[in-house]
Amino acid sequence: MNQTKLSDIKGIGPTRLEALRAVGIVSLRDLLYFLPARYEDRTTATPCREARAGEVMVQGVIRQKPGFNAFGGLTRVTCSISDGSGRLSVVWFNQPWMREQVPVGVPVSLYGRVAEKNGRRTLQNPAVVEKPEILPVYRAPKGFPAKTFRELMRRALETVDDCCPETLPRPLRLRHGLCELNYAIRQSHFPDSFEDLKTARRRMAFEQMLLFQAALGLMRNAGEEGIPLPLDEAAAERYWQAMPFSPTGAQRRVLEQIAADLRRPRAMSRLVQGDVGCGKTALAFGAIALTCGCGYQAAMMVPTDILARQHYESARHLLEPMGITCGLLVGAMKAKEKREAHEALAEGRWQAVFGTHALITEKVAYQKLALAVTDEQHRFGVRQRTTLQEKGKQGDLPAPHVLVMSATPIPRTLSLILYGDLDVSVVDELPPGRTPVKTRLVPPEKRGDMYAFLRRKTAEGRQAYIVCPLVEDGEDADSAQDVRSARATWEELTQGELKGLRVGLTWGSQKAEEKARVLEDFHAGLLDALVSTTVIEVGVNVPNATVMVVENAERFGLSQLHQLRGRVGRGSEESWCFLMGPHTEKLDILTRTSDGFVVAQKDLELRGPGDLMGTRQSGEALQGFLLDGDVRLMEEATGCMRRLREDPAFAQEREAVEKQALEQYGEKIRQIARN
């Protein structure tokens, strides 16, 4: 095995070594698995006339020396490039040296981003292309200029044969048409062609999915000892009879699955996923009622204070008549309230507790915790779920049962990758009487009519959300200038279309107390409309809100748009979702269906699993975890692992794959953050 260390690579001194470690790169192998985020195609030129918004390379001639002007401390170098098809304007902001460096009167290739505004196209801040190549673009750690990081990677690749030996058995590679690892790593960084890149990324993606599945399988098979609850066969039905509503068939089926898990001596690990409004909270309360009815405690952790309080109030109404004492523990409580809550939990006076991350702080101790429920799972990581579970393993008590609730419908294939360590229950039926939210695409010229409609609804006593992709103007340097920010939209609306209405403003990084106050005011009906970022995607339940407006809807994923749409239509009144954006296949889908599983499947097909995984994943454990390609590759890797487990003829291959999985992930498998 090669003994070369990161610090042996030319250009990596103590400061850069720390910067690499800060993003989880502690070895040469880690560095070589830190793959490009994207690639610039500097091999194919686009005619100037056909260059549209986005990144392009154009080839042509700059006839005149670029112009130069300065304003407000900023500089601008301007010119135009022309080819046989036409001309394209070019601008460099704050790069005054380009006026002297750009070649004039001779053929030149420029690579940059085309911005389009009012019908005028401009190539912004392009680089002069010296040679045709597929250039890797990395999310380089702090302190590494892009060019420096690429050169560093070239030097690191000289060690690939020694520090990255083959990880997959040769027969397995041949069956699935996978190239060798050293070739895949080289071509993933500096591909000779897009065909070679496709071959390399397919191999890397397949390997990562396979090893991840193997590691999750090992973790799942290890299954911890649990608390078998003495539940009779009629326990679930007695719970439904105590409820003021009749359950759907799906709710009955899933609660029976939960009850069966609770009876076993192995700790339950179950994910309940379903569409907005399918009744997952009633199932969580059912699991809590079954657990507390056997003399144990249950804890339900949710992402926001306001949602915790809503669940607590609902539990007092539904569970306390069944003799179950309920409590609340959130970060915003006063010291005395927290102290009293800690005592009530430690002494067992509270059987069911509802709260936020406050439930897993160091001072919290439970007397007999047998069930840990986490709601809105994609806002929590495995670490938080595991910490709550560990809270129950005090004294001689084994691990509590774990129930995970997700309001984000996930296609079955993707759920195998995301939640391979959990049994999955799907609530695929909505309660009768729910009215689907009417979804419409709104062109710019109809904006005034839409806000007039919104005003009429607020005059009737209803409320509305207006969601924007950015907090501040200019927050996203890569964005076109017409991307709307929450702050600018709030200022515009309060002085224009919504003048005179009570309009709030909130965003993710807003001070916690300010954000809580705004959300509480909206929930209490003290605000007519709320302008926000996607902070309201989960954790806000306002049945009186009947209008959702999403600005620049094309910038959001389908599943995220469906989640935002789910913030309205939670009461009995007719509700509307207005998508401000162009007619695209993605946005048209939302106007045609309200089925979250259909939306999720379309999202998977349109965006590819890589993008979807990216929204749920961060942290070092899966740095560079790739899901390139289509759904078929995911199914192929999952099927491969299943075959290795089930067919004795592949026992040797299975052993080799599981050994690699343990080496790669080890204990880190429990620290994957699925955000």
- Is residue 570 within 8 Å of 433, Cβ to Cβ? no
The confidence score (pLDDT) of residue 612 equals: 43
Instruction: List C-alpha distances in Å: 640 to 115, 193, 422, 664.
Output: 45, 28, 19, 19
Class of the CATH-defined domain 44-128 = mainly beta
Q: Is the torsion defined by CA of 193, 199, 201, 204 positive or negative?
A: negative
The model's confidence at residue 482, banded by pLDDT at 50, 70 and 90, is low
223 has pLDDT over 80:
no
Phi first, then psi: give them for residue 619, nearest 5 degrees. Answer: 95, 170
The confidence score (pLDDT) of residue 326 equals: 97
Quick one: 235-263+277-406 is in which CATH superfamily? Answer: P-loop containing nucleotide triphosphate hydrolases (3.40.50.300)
- Mean pLDDT value of segment 404-415: 68
Rounded to 10 deg, the angle between the 558-565 and 596-607 helix axes is 150
With H, G, I as helix, E, B as strand and everything else as coil, classify residue 513. Answer: helix
Q: Cα 381 vs. chain centroid, distance in angstroms? A: 11
The confidence score (pLDDT) of residue 674 equals: 32
Instruction: Kindly state the tokens that stand for 465.
Output: 């959300």
Residue 485 DSSP symbol: B
The model's confidence at residue 511, banded by pLDDT at 50, 70 and 90, is confident
Cα 329 to Cα 358: distance, rounded to the nearest angstrom = 6
Cα 340 to Cα 102: distance, rounded to the nearest angstrom = 71
643 has pLDDT over 60:
yes
Q: Model pTM greater than 0.85?
A: no
115 has pLDDT over 50:
yes
Fold exhibited by the domain 438-593: Rossmann fold (3.40.50)
Proportion of the chain above pLDDT 90, given as a percent: 51
290 has pLDDT over 90:
yes
Instruction: List C-alpha distances in Å: 11 to 27, 42, 160.
Output: 15, 26, 18
Question: For 613-631, what is each residue's pLDDT tens digit?
Answer: 443 333 333 334 444 445 5
- Is residue 316 within 8 Å of 285, Cβ to Cβ? no
HEC assignment per residue over 231-300:
CCCCHHHHHHHHCCCCCCHHHHHHHHHHHHHHHCCECCEEEEEECCCCCHHHHHHHHHHHHHCCCCEEEE
The confidence score (pLDDT) of residue 613 equals: 41
- Residue for token digits 């487990």? 645
- Mean pLDDT value of segment 658-675: 63
Instruction: List C-alpha distances in Å: 630 to 195, 203, 222, 611.
Output: 16, 13, 31, 11
- Among 262-266, 397-401, 670-674, the range with the most confident prediction by mean pLDDT is 262-266
The confidence score (pLDDT) of residue 139 equals: 86
Question: For 160-171, what is each residue's pLDDT tens digit?
Answer: 988 889 999 999
412 has pLDDT over 70:
no
44-128 and 438-593 share one fold: no
The confidence score (pLDDT) of residue 421 equals: 59
Q: Is the torsion defined by CA of 375, 379, 380, 381 positive or negative?
A: positive
The confidence score (pLDDT) of residue 563 equals: 85
Cα dihedral: 285, 289, 292, 298 (round 10): -10
Cα 351 to Cα 367: distance, rounded to the nearest angstrom = 9
- Mean pLDDT value of segment 641-654: 92
- Amino acid, res. 313: E
112 has pLDDT over 60:
yes
229 has pLDDT over 80:
yes
Q: Is the torsion defined by CA of 331, 335, 341, 345 positive or negative?
A: positive
Neighbours of 314 (CB within 10 A): 16
If we measure between CA atoms, which residue out of 402, 396, 424 comes closest to residue 412?
424
- Mean pLDDT value of segment 313-341: 93
Cα 321 to Cα 340: distance, rounded to the nearest angstrom = 23
Integer-rounded Cα radius of gyration of the chain: 28
Residue ranges per domain, the chain?
6-38+134-165, 44-128, 235-263+277-406, 438-593
479 has pLDDT over 70:
no
The confidence score (pLDDT) of residue 623 equals: 37
Cα 74 to Cα 398: distance, rounded to the nearest angstrom = 64
Residue 110, H or E segment: strand 107-117
Instruction: Kindly state the tokens that stand for 58.
Output: 């154009």
65 has pLDDT over 50:
yes
Proportion of the chain above pLDDT 70, given as a percent: 86
- Mean pLDDT value of segment 245-273: 92
The confidence score (pLDDT) of residue 275 equals: 78
Q: Is 319 left (phi over 0), alpha (psi -120 to 50) or beta?
A: alpha
Strands (E), 462-596: 463-467, 503-506, 529-532, 545-550, 576-580
277 has pLDDT over 80:
no
Question: For 148-195, what is each residue's pLDDT tens digit?
Answer: 999 999 999 998 988 889 999 999 999 999 999 999 999 999 999 999
Instruction: List C-alpha distances in Å: 259 to 232, 237, 274.
Output: 9, 11, 18
- Mean pLDDT value of segment 264-293: 90
Question: For 580-621, what is each residue's pLDDT tens digit?
Answer: 988 888 899 999 888 877 787 777 666 655 444 443 333 333
Cα dihedral: 484, 376, 216, 632 (round 10): -50
Residue 45 DSSP symbol: P
- Is residue 298 within 8 Å of 325, Cβ to Cβ? no
- Amino acid, res. 476: D
237 has pLDDT over 90:
yes
218 has pLDDT over 80:
no
Cα 644 to Cα 639: distance, rounded to the nearest angstrom = 9
What's the half-sphere exposure (Cβ side, CA atoms, 13 Å) at 511? 3
- Is residue 310 within 8 Å of 541, Cβ to Cβ? yes
373 has pLDDT over 80:
yes
Neighbours of 383 (CB within 10 A): 15
The confidence score (pLDDT) of residue 629 equals: 45
More confident residue, 343 or 411: 343
495 has pLDDT over 90:
yes
Residue 542 neighbours by CB under 8 Å, 6+ apart: 463, 522, 523, 567, 570
Residue 673 neighbours by CB under 8 Å, 6+ apart: 381, 382, 383, 617, 618, 619
Cα 619 to Cα 621: distance, rounded to the nearest angstrom = 6
- Mean pLDDT value of segment 105-132: 91
502 has pLDDT over 60:
yes
The model's confidence at residue 539, banded by pLDDT at 50, 70 and 90, is low
More confident residue, 393 or 517: 517
Per the prediction, the chain carries an average pLDDT of 85
Show contacts of 479-485: CB within 8 Å, 24+ apart.
480/53, 480/115, 480/116, 480/117, 481/115, 481/117, 482/117, 483/552, 483/555, 484/551, 484/552
668 has pLDDT over 60:
no
With H, G, I as helix, E, B as strand and everything else as coil, classify residue 549. Answer: strand
Instruction: Kindly state the tokens that stand for 111.
Output: 């690579």
Instruction: Kindly state the tokens that stand for 152.
Output: 């560093």
Listed in sequence order, the DSSP H helices in 73-193 are 98-101, 146-156, 160-163, 170-176, 181-189
